[in-house]
């Protein structure tokens, strides 16, 4: 083979190798319920500001089910009951349908934060209107979310969440429950944003990103 061609191939492979290097990733699963105060506080006051610093270092798996239960009736219909009543079940469902779209994490978190701040004990129509406002603001396809919420797909997603949570968490369930690499965090009540970031960084081996420097200004 011509030496110049060989050098060209080697150079290409070296560049390709460099281009495929990936940033560090830390897997985090959060099991939450939408009307639970500690769940809201965890997402709004810790996760959102921490994600603003960490970005896609965090690989999120959000499960909006919490302390819910379900019953499958003889006619095949599925009834969900939630810790904080019907409206929590409905907002859990809205979030589940948004999560099921698998949008970019930043957009999904923007939607969830917006919806949590708007939603409380409202009618279903009002809750859907809030979801539309938040979907539009987050550039998520509201029509897809609405069809999921009002159709069988919403049941399917919630059932999959129920199954995933049941396998991961033995009773009793505490909301929220968050797990780095599927390991239960026994000290999750005491996390501040800074502590959360540093704990996330502790899972990164080798050279750590700038955000992981202890004295970084938050």
Q: What is the pLDDT of residue 188?
A: 64
Q: Which two tokens stand for residue 184?
A: 């239960």
Q: What is the pLDDT of residue 16?
A: 40
Residue with tokens 């003889």: 74
Q: Which residues contact 129 (CB under 8 A, 6 or more apart)?
A: none
Q: Which of 183, 157, 155, 181 is nearest to 169 (CA)?
A: 183
pTM for this predicted structure: 0.85
Q: What is the pLDDT of residue 57?
A: 94
- 151-163 burial by CB neighbour count: b if 16+ within 10 A, else e? eeebbebbbebbe
Q: Which residues pair with 11 in a beta bridge?
A: none
Contact by Cβ (8 Å): 27, 204: no
Averaged pLDDT, groups of 10, the chain, 218 residues long: 44 38 83 95 95 95 95 92 94 98 98 94 92 98 98 97 92 84 74 90 90 66
Q: Which CATH superfamily is domain 21-212 in?
A: Glutaredoxin (3.40.30.10)
Left if phi > 0, otherwise alpha if psi is -120 to 50, otherwise beta: which for 49? alpha
Q: Which two tokens stand for residue 196?
A: 């959360």
Domain regions of the chain by residue span: 21-212
Q: Which two tokens stand for residue 116?
A: 């949590």
Q: What is the pLDDT of residue 172?
A: 65
Q: Give dist(CA 47, CA 50) in Å, integer.
A: 5
**Cβ atoms within 10 Å of 138's Cβ, excluding its own:** 21
**Cβ atoms within 10 Å of 73's Cβ, excluding its own:** 8
Q: Give dist(CA 33, CA 28) in Å, integer.
A: 16
Q: Give dist(CA 166, CA 183) in Å, integer.
A: 15
Q: Which two tokens stand for residue 33?
A: 């319920």
**Cβ atoms within 10 Å of 9's Cβ, excluding its own:** 11
What is the four-CA torsion angle of 99, 102, 103, 105, rounded to 10 degrees?
A: 70
Q: What is the pLDDT of residue 9?
A: 36
Q: Give dist(CA 39, CA 61) in Å, integer.
A: 15
């Amino acid at each position: 083979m011509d030496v110049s061609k060989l050098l060209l191939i080697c150079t290409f492979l070296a560049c390709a190798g460099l281009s495929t290097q990936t940033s560090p990733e830390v897997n985090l699963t959060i099991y939450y319920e939408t009307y639970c105060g500690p769940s809201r506080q965890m997402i709004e006051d810790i996760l959102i500001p921490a994600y603003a610093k960490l970005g896609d270092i965090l690989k999120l798996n959000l499960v909006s089910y919490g302390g819910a239960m379900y019953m499958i009736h003889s006619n095949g219909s599925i009834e969900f009951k939630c810790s904080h009543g019907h409206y929590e079940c409905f907002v859990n469902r809205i979030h589940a349908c948004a999560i099921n779209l698998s949008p970019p994490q930043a957009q999904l978190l923007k939607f969830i934060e917006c919806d949590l701040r708007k939603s409380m004990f409202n009618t279903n129509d009002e809750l859907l209107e809030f979801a539309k406002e938040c979907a539009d603001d987050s550039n998520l396809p509201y029509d897809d979310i609405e069809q999921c919420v009002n159709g069988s797909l919403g049941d399917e997603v919630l059932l999959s969440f129920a199954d995933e949570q049941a396998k991961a968490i033995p009773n009793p369930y505490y909301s929220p429950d968050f797990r780095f690499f599927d390991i239960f965090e026994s000290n999750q009540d005491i996390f501040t944003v800074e502590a959360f970031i540093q704990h996330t960084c502790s899972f990164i081996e080798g050279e750590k990103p700038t955000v992981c420097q202890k004295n970084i200004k938050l």
